[in-house]
Chains A and B, each alone.
Chain A
């Protein structure tokens, strides 16, 4: 036990071990994970619903259908309006801020844990990889649920506005009408929503985790939230 040999280099843990620890961590703090994931779900649901709703409007207008509830004065403009663009940008901002905030809080309250893991011999890279895996999984699953909720919301609103016509002209796939705006299609929007949710969650958590991992353990453990 009383060695006086040169200090060796710390080994890298196998990826499977990191995966196991990160899933264990998500499972054990399931309640907290659900709250963080809900933040991502809500952000993506809002973005996808606004975006899909806009696509539905575009597709239905392209086919000559009018909303059954719009009066003449409220008839939507053809193509994508400035108001729609603003709405999408606003929902994107709400989504970015919401997810970044959820992830930031979830990591900051674990600074002490990061410091403790470093005391026990964790490498900085291991700590970051742990958070990357956790947040990537949370981000993807949260965003997938959010994308479906958002699409469902937009479909229900479309049904209210256009009735069953919605299903005949539903913009599932990308389309480029001869005139008017390029339509991405709902599948692409869901896909983009999932990717965006995952990227935002990973950035939102890895950046503070990286900062905490770089701190000397004594400083990370002193951090109070």
Chain B
């Protein structure tokens, strides 16, 4: 039997905008296995980012349940949710969401501060992680002094700070050029293969689909279909080609 790490049951999310109610998720049911690389695919407004927020405990569903490691997220206390975000999940965002007043090192150490890790240990680990993502020579640079790709690398290092079992990546390549995007995808895939991290990514990027184990198509707040990688054909053009 597959080891299910994430399971959603009839997840509905509604947003109230004045007197209007927007139903972003319409009853989502998915199961994600441990160690899988999953891509949530869909056009803008399809609900993939909303689903991403639900799985990562960044927002609460209006109806339905989200289970992580068999635990119902709606039953967790505030402290448990904070610990979940701190230890179990690493988030990577489209707009990096780095704290611009903290250096690359300061950004990577922050989740470790919240986890109560000693200063010596967190300094060592931050250096190791930044070195791993290829920023060993830019440890003390502020995010404003780094390129988009370098910022996303800092975000990846930060996401790995507390050895999470799940990486949630919301359009991680959307603000990057093709080559840098490819490098970021390779880095995430490497983590997936070498460290067995489950990767859940909301994306438009065909290059990300290429490395996925399964692709979940989301449309109008519903799972339209789930495909295995070998069921789809992707041709990724070279830079500059049509």
Contacts and interface: CB of A to CB of B under 8 A. Distances in A.
B88 interface: yes
A3 interface: yes
Interface of B is mostly: loop
B114 A122 contact: yes
A203 interface: no
A115 B59 CA distance: 11
Contacts of B102: 28
B99 interface: yes
Contacts of A9: 77, 79-80, 83
B174 interface: no
A121 B83 contact: yes
Nearest to A29: B101
B58 interface: yes
B240 interface: no
Contacts of B71: 6-7
Given A10-B114, A13-B113, A121-B83, A217 B58 contact: yes
Contacts of B77: 9
Contact of B83 (A10, A13, A25): A10
A1 B110 CA distance: 20
Given A1-B196, A7-B71, A10-B80, A120 B158 contact: yes
Contacts of A77: none
A119 B91 contact: yes
Interface string A163-206: 00000000000000000000000000000000000000000000
A167 to B, nearest CB: 47
A216 B58 contact: yes
Interface in A17-72: 17, 21, 25, 28-29
A216 B60 contact: yes
A1 B69 contact: no
Contact of A218 (B53, B84, B164): B53
Interface size of B as a range: 35 or more
A133 interface: no
A9 B34 CA distance: 23
B195 A1 contact: yes
B12 to A, nearest CB: 16
Interface residues of A, number: 35
B131 to A, nearest CB: 19
Given A1-B196, A11-B116, A216-B58, A121 B111 contact: yes
A2 interface: yes
Contacts, number: 102
A74 interface: no
Contacts of B163: 1
B114 A120 contact: yes
A94 interface: no
Interface in B63-91: 68-71, 76-80, 82-88, 91
B165 interface: yes
B218 interface: no
B35 interface: yes
Interface string A207-222: 0000000001111010
A9 to B, nearest CB: 4
A115 B3 CA distance: 31
Contacts of B88: 3, 7
A17 to B, nearest CB: 6
B69 A112 contact: no
Nearest to B113: A17
Given A7-B88, A9-B79, A116 B97 contact: yes
A2 B196 contact: yes
List the 5 closest pairs (A to B, CB-CB), nearest first.
A121-B86, A10-B82, A121-B114, A10-B83, A218-B58
20 contacts: A2-B35, A4-B70, A7-B68, A7-B76, A7-B80, A8-B83, A10-B82, A10-B86, A10-B114, A25-B101, A28-B102, A116-B97, A119-B56, A119-B58, A119-B91, A121-B83, A123-B78, A216-B58, A217-B85, A221-B93
